[in-house]
Amino acid sequence: MREKPESVGREVLYEVVEGHIGLIRLNRPEKRNAVNGDVASALGWIVTETERDPEIRAVILASTSDGAFSAGADLSEISKGRGHTLATPDGGFGGLTRARREKPWIAAVAAPALAGGCELALSCDMIVASDNSRFGLPEVKRGLFAGAGGVFRLTRRLPAAIAFELVATGDPIEAPRAYALGLVNRLTTADKVLNEAIALAKAISVNAPLSVRESLKVSRQSFDLPEEELWKISSRASALVFGSEDAKEGPVAFLEKRAPVWKGR
């Protein structure tokens, strides 16, 4: 396994909460959590660590700053010719946007998530946001391009016409409207965002991890494959889950009126 970067615990904080939830917090408040090489390296390592750790059942991406979730790419790094360090070979921008993940990720957004910061949030499966936050891809206002997945992920999460407007104008969408349109899962006040994200992660982590993983695997491919192919991969996932130890444990625990003890296999 790759050696733990020094930036873990400095630019990016990581801990396990509630036993099965990986909590990540971007920690460059003086730079509005802009992504530099240290952030990308740390996030890339944490992605690998959370996937490897069988005890982790859900992951939350949050911020230590109330000023910004993330302002995106650190332009000072780009101006110094270090733009290539803002991505990792396996994870893409920020070590996250192209990373292969099987476990569910939740973005806890209590401040603006713009440009690459919006793309980091869109890399997660679910978003919990504060009512004063907003999301946007302002790259076109600067002659740039949202190349970390934002231009197509936004269209997958919003009605197409709304997404086209946001992409073409570069104007942000306020969180309450994003919630009404389905981009945001849960809307609350800034001081309650992290607790709400943890509550959502707990609701996931009490379920059988293998069932969650395989169900999400099929759900994530629903945008890309025809229904005939989805039936095939769904059947394979079903056979794997129903043949697992957890598939036996769940009904027994129900009949015995106790909480199931999942093994993830």
Catalytic residues, by residue number, are: 119, 139
CB atoms within 10 A of CB 215: 17
The amino acid sitting at 54 is P
Spatial separation of the C-alpha atoms in residues 226 and 261, rounded to whole Å: 36
Q: How many CB atoms lie within 10 A of CB 102?
A: 13
Q: State how far the Cα of 220 lies from the Cα of 234, in Å rounded to an integer.
A: 12
Instruction: Judge contact between 107 and 127, C-beta under 8 A.
Output: yes
Question: For residues 137 and 24, what is the distance between their CA atoms, to the nearest angstrom?
Answer: 23
- 116 neighbors 94 (Cβ within 8 angstroms): yes
Q: For residues 34 and 72, is the Cβ–Cβ distance under 8 A? A: yes
Q: Identify residue 165 by its one-letter amino acid code.
A: E
Handedness of CA 236, 238, 240, 242 (dihedral sign): negative
